[in-house]
Structure 1
Amino acid sequence: MGKELNFFGHVVSPDIRMLYDMEGVLYDTEWFRTAKNTELYYMYRDMYENEKEHEEIKSQHLRYDITIIPPKMLGKEYVKTAGHYHPNVPGASTSYSEIYQVLEGEAEYLFQKMAGETVEDVVLIKAKAGDIVVVPPGYGHITINSSNKTLKMANWVCDDFSSMYHPIKERAGAAYYLLTSGYVPNPKYTKIPPIRYLKPTDASILGLVKGEDMYNLIDDLSKLDFLKNPQLYDEKFSKVLAKEI
């Protein structure tokens, strides 16, 4: 295939997101109708250094993934992920969280929170290599690569649930699209608030260190308990989206 990733000696093949998989979430539908199906980005799931660490990760109901997004234009729109939400923790009214780290390149993380059929909040975080970004409960999210460099990012997430793609697809994408002219609102949504531009997450809020490879959390996975039990960390999550630019 030629897209395998060597992770501590493990050669892993990706799940590949194809252009045609993105039908229904793109801005430039006219371009899409005549475009050829091509590979957009690569998802390497359930990564680990050795079997002992793999067993420890699984025992904690966690998963470490890497995603690689080469630069590309989808017609008038910058390449992006399909976007998804997380379900609620069983027995709780709080949805699962997720944490990302940019390993190479640059990323734009677009978060949105719904209140019924209305968009309650839209957040944009630009991140560079070493930056950490936490997706708090209640927010759907997509990742955009608007640079001319390949984006390589990692994430930790609880492995007890499946992401929900339909809420974004049924509205033809997120609340905003990123074009070369800037962000434009998606007319499928009503009463979209202005984008709030925030800094990357202060890693120390969650006991992490900016710039340090977050795979090293394998040495103390208790620091990732907020991914499994987000309902217990309201105070921490209230600080995650607090630092505006």
Structure 2
Amino acid sequence: MSRILVTDLDGTLLGGSPDQRRRLRDALLRHPEVTPVFATGRGPSAVREVLRDPLVPRPRWIIADVGATVLDGTDLTPVDALQDRLRAGWPGEERVRAALRRFPGLRYQHGVVQDGRCSYHLAPRHLTGELTAAVEALGCAWVYSGDRYFDVLPPGASKGTAVRALAGKLGWRPEDVLVAGDSLNDLSLYRLGTHAVVVGGAEPALLAALAGTPHVLRPAHPGAAGIHTALDTLGWL
């Protein structure tokens, strides 16, 4: 595995037209030295649904649950040693939900299978210092994205932390890694010092957070086409 593509799913790898997605899939098939790794807010069951899509390349590794889960892409089994490290200090779903029940602006995402995290819907006006302080008092981390998604995570969990753990385990060099995303829950990926691309149509808050960051490519093309442009710009295709 000489080169690694770490990509978010919704709005990134899954973004764009079917033709754009097919073009990226075919390019990756022609270049097996570029290894796809998913880094997504979806849980494992939702990732399995994505893998049924013939336009989705098969990942070698899967980082799910916003960084709280790591799976081997060949058989979808947990990478227990890394996952246990990422989930260290997690107080459990019941304790988190009980502690945050007093915040009426939080709406638990009942339709999402959650493991090692708690995910809510939250309007921007309800993202208060009192709420984030309550999360931090639990010893947890949090991430807010899309002006609606509020994720409570183990203190050491994030997409970036999970990628760093995999890189250490597998010997990836920063210059051999490209990260791709479109929302604020991808921000930790851009702190790794690797090649990076923010695809077209990305969340304005992510663009603002990365303002002045010179190593991040910003193609106009959305989704899969933006990833393809970045791979081409780097000379990986």
Flag the structure with higher helix content.
2
TM-score by length of 2: 0.29
